[in-house]
Amino acid sequence: MIITTATSGDAPGMTVLLNAIIERGGTTAHQTPFDTDRMLQHYIAPPRLVCCHVAKEDNTVLGFQWVGWPKQESPMSEGWAVIASFVAIEAAGQGIGQQLFKATQAAACAAGVKTIDATIRADNVPGLRYYSGLGFGDYDRLADVALRDGTRVDQIRKRFDL
């Protein structure tokens, strides 16, 4: 397996991976499937990108992790960035997320990130366990957040100080 910076050529594989997670439900706030253009705009080359890495084996995307600066209207402090992580359903539990985070951590440090925020659905037990295992600590809880389809969930906010 290799970890590398995501490129436009990775968009189709990343799209397939994320759409399978969206279709399964319960572990991402995304509810609308992606196409490759949306993947490029949202994760690979958005204006506030810090980094986006992919994990690949035999040219198949097994996971990806993105870090970006928060939107300007966000109440986050200077030096904070946000993270999103996705691993293929069939590849979960194989250490892919830990390997991605090593590359992400180095890139975030180089970009001047001081703290990474992971905001996770409270019902996403695997995601909460993953971020806790990396050393992220809880710092806030958002109650009764509406998803696009009207479903209401709590969100746990975790932080990792670099």
Q: Per-residue pLDDT tens for 31-47?
A: 899 999 999 999 999 99
Q: Is 78 helix (H, G, I), strand (E, B) or coil?
A: coil
Residue 151 lies in a domain: no
Nearest to 76 by CA among 38, 110, 48, 44: 48
Residue 146 lies in a domain: no
User: Does 147 have pLDDT greater than 80?
Assistant: no
Residue 13 lies in a domain: yes
Residue 152 lies in a domain: no
Residue 52 lies in a domain: yes
Distance CA 161, CA 47 (A): 23
Distance CA 101, CA 104 (A): 5
- Contact yes or no for 59/15 (Cβ under 8 A): no
pLDDT tens across 55-74, in order?
Answer: 999 999 999 999 999 987 77
Mean pLDDT of 132-158: 90
pLDDT on residue 146: 79
Q: Is 103 helix (H, G, I), strand (E, B) or coil?
A: helix
Q: Considering its fold, how many domains does the chain have in total?
A: 1
Confidence label for 76 from pLDDT (cuts 50, 70 and 90):
confident
Residue 107 lies in a domain: yes
pLDDT on residue 51: 98
Residue 17 lies in a domain: yes
Token pair for residue 97?
């997320």
Output the pTM of the full model: 0.92
- Which residue segment(s) compose the domain that 41 sits in? 2-116
